[in-house]
Structure 1
Amino acid sequence: MISAQAWADAQRLWDFQQMGHELRPCSVAIGLGSHDLGVADTTADLYHRGMTPLIVFTGATSRTTRDRMPRGEAEHYRERAMELGVPADAILVEPRARNTGENIRFSRALLEDYGAVVSSVLLVSKPYEERRAYATARKLWPEVEWVSASTPMTLADYIDSIGDARLVIDMLAGAQQRLMIYPQQGFMIEQRVPDDVTAAYERLRDAGFTSRLVTDTATQK
């Protein structure tokens, strides 16, 4: 059973991750690979709305995606976007990245090799990782303007889409922990974390929502 306090704390972390950026046209959209094909759907929607002329999908595989996305997260995202009407020549694929830092570094290198002139980026992530992705991107590619985006949905709807409430809360706790400890490791910029968000994270950690927490902070995951 998940307590009422845990639900409230999860909602607080979910709300904090939402950056609330106003969407606007950008030079390129970067869709961060994961288990969630909704990232590809949202990136394709942004393309059709004229928010970007070019898409980079980035991601290899992980323990949670190697079975369902055997050709790699970025390649499955590309296939999904093409199913949704995005032309192949508007999509670049970066197939090697295995963490958020590599997503940004490898995508930047790919765009430079492609000859793209990039002044702004729509950064498309899972809803519970908007702020973490933004903080990483700002650290690693500070010369461009970043606009965070994700699929607009509630925490309850996201849990329904995943089908595992405890896993989602574990992921929320993991994303928040990284946001708090990775700046000291040089992986992302510092962001002010309100006291009530820190307290919510600590209660979830102490309640056992720990499967996605980092124990070795020397490597970004």
Structure 2
Amino acid sequence: MDENLVDYYAELLYDYHFLKQPLQKADAIFVLGSHDPSVADYAVELYKEGWANYIIFSGGVVRPVGELRNQTPKSEADAFFDIAVKAGVPADVIILDNEATNTGENFSCTRKVLKEKGFDFQNFILVQKPYMVRRTYATALVQFSEFKFISTAKPDSYAQYIARCIENNISKERVISNMTGDLQRLKIYPEKGFLAAMEIPENVWDAYEKLIFMGFEGRMAN
């Protein structure tokens, strides 16, 4: 397999997925669950820079030992909590949702937690992996439409992000398969009402089909 060609197609998907929106101050930094600990690291950066006074970690999927730098199996939210507190974020500004198991539930379960705890947040910074920024935003347009929000991630290039993932024991193959899976969801989920339709450029879809042909199809939706 020609790795240069793989990277060429993968970077097209990465740049499309990484919707760029300017940061704006918010009531809370809302972090959606992930297998990538750098998502929590970036939320900590934003908090320390003063973009919001609270952090929400949403994710009930239990990750195995080591996957999120955890020493015991933990939910994404709990593992992210540990990362943030270790980095100096006060525990009392962190809100946890340990029930969500997918992107739609990140929004519905977090809405429920905020209501139960009496928080009246109206403005959010949504944080995810770079290649999930667009899908997070498209989902929020449907599932979180009553609020104001922007969607963002640590501003890595494709090469920088792959290198960061490898440092965290996440393979390039896994990242690319996740990116093709996310593009498929952007294509088919609007008709299911899960997210808002996003225009997909022809060259991006062509790159997707090339990567699928090469075998990067490990995370397709049914």
TM-score (norm 1): 0.91
Partner of 1:126: 129
Partner of 1:219: none
Could you give the per-residue CA deviations for residues 32-71 of structure 1, whole angstroms, max 9, x where no partner exists?
1111111111111111111111111011225xx2333512
- SS of the equivalent of 1:22 reads coil
* Amino acid of the structure 1 residue aligned with 2:192: Q
- SS of the equivalent of 1:97 reads coil
Of residues 89, 96, 99, the one that matches 2:99 is 96
- 1:5 Cα deviation from its structure 2 partner: 2.8
Any residues of structure 2 matched to 1:135-174 within 5 Å, and which?
A: 135-163=138-166, 164-174=171-181
Q: Distance in 2 between matches of 1:144 and 1:96?
A: 21
Q: Distance in 1 between matches of 2:65 and 2:48?
A: 30
- 1:206 Cα deviation from its structure 2 partner: 1.8
Partner of 2:109: 106
* Amino acid of the structure 2 residue aligned with 1:144: F
- 1:118 Cα deviation from its structure 2 partner: 2.0
Partner of 2:65: 67
Q: 1:117 to 1:2 in 2, by over 3 A?
A: farther
Q: Distance in 1 between matches of 2:136 and 2:100?
A: 14
Partner of 1:22: 22
Identical residues among aligned pairs (%): 35
CA contact (8 A) 1:138 1:146 kept: no
RMSD: 1.4
- SS of the equivalent of 2:65 reads coil
Q: Distance in 2 between matches of 1:44 and 1:190?
A: 31
Of residues 179, 194, 202, the one that matches 1:195 is 202
TM-score (norm 2): 0.91
- SS of the equivalent of 1:156 reads helix
Of residues 179, 186, 191, the one that matches 2:186 is 179
